C-alpha cells in the first residue's frame, strides 16, 4: 500500500470534490478555496475550508503560499459568522501523527457546542 502522505493533493477525496466528481454541501466558494460541511462532523457545525491549489499540508506550504494561507483563515472566520457562531475553533492537522487523514491542506471550523481544552 502506498504511503497516504505521498498521494498528490489533487488525487485525494478533496481533489475529487474540487473537480466536481464528488458532491459536497458547499457553504462558500471563491477562486482560491471551497468550504463545505464535513461528512463526519465532530460538533454541530463542522466545516472544512480547502484551497483550490493542491498543497499537501501546512508543513509543506512555502513562502509562496502566504497570501493563500491568510485567505483560508479569513474564509474560516467568514463561514463561522455565516453559521452564527459566537465562538469557534479552527484546526489544521499537519501530518499523519497530528491526525491528518486527507493529504490536502484543510482548515476545520468547529463550533456550535462548548469545546474542551486540551482537545486531544
Query: Which CATH number covers residue 11?
Result: 3.30.428.10
Distance CA 45, CA 12 (A): 23
For the segment 52-62, what is each residue's pLDDT rounded down to a tens digit? 999 999 999 99
Distance CA 94, CA 78 (A): 22
Q: What percent of the chain has pLDDT over 90?
A: 87
Band of the pLDDT at 76, cuts 50, 70, 90?
very high
The pLDDT of residue 100 = 96
The answer to whether 106 is a known catalytic residue is yes
Give a yes or no: residue 120 inside a domain: no
Give a yes or no: residue 76 inside a domain: yes
Kind plus residue range of the DSSP H or E element containing 29: strand 26-29
- Phi and psi torsions of 116, nearest 5°: -80, 160
Band of the pLDDT at 10, cuts 50, 70, 90?
confident
Give a yes or no: residue 42 inside a domain: yes
Band of the pLDDT at 119, cuts 50, 70, 90?
confident
- The catalytic residue among 46, 104, 106, 108 is 106
User: What range does the domain containing 13 cover?
Assistant: 4-111
Task: Judge whether residue 106 has pLDDT over 70.
Answer: yes
Task: Judge whether residue 39 has pLDDT over 70.
Answer: yes
* Number of domains composing the chain: 1
Q: What is the DSSP string of 57-82?
A: -GGG--GGGHHHHHHHHHHHHHHHHH
Give a yes or no: residue 98 inside a domain: yes
Give a yes or no: residue 62 inside a domain: yes
In a 3-state reduction of DSSP, which class is residue 116? Answer: coil
Q: Is the overall model pTM greater than 0.85, yes or no?
A: yes
Amino acid at each position: 500500500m502506498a504511503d497516504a502522505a505521498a498521494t498528490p493533493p489533487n488525487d485525494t477525496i478533496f481533489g475529487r470534490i474540487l473537480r466536481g466528481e464528488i458532491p459536497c454541501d458547499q457553504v462558500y466558494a471563491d477562486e482560491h478555496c471551497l468550504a463545505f460541511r464535513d461528512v463526519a462532523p465532530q460538533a454541530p457545525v463542522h466545516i472544512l475550508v480547502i484551497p483550490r491549489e493542491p498543497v499537501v499540508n501546512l508543513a509543506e506550504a512555502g513562502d509562496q503560499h502566504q497570501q493563500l494561507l491568510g485567505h483560508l483563515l479569513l474564509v474560516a472566520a467568514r463561514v463561522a459568522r455565516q453559521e452564527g457562531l459566537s465562538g469557534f475553533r479552527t484546526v489544521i492537522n499537519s501530518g499523519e501523527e497530528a491526525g491528518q487523514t486527507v493529504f490536502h491542506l484543510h482548515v476545520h471550523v468547529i463550533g456550535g457546542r462548548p469545546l474542551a481544552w486540551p482537545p486531544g
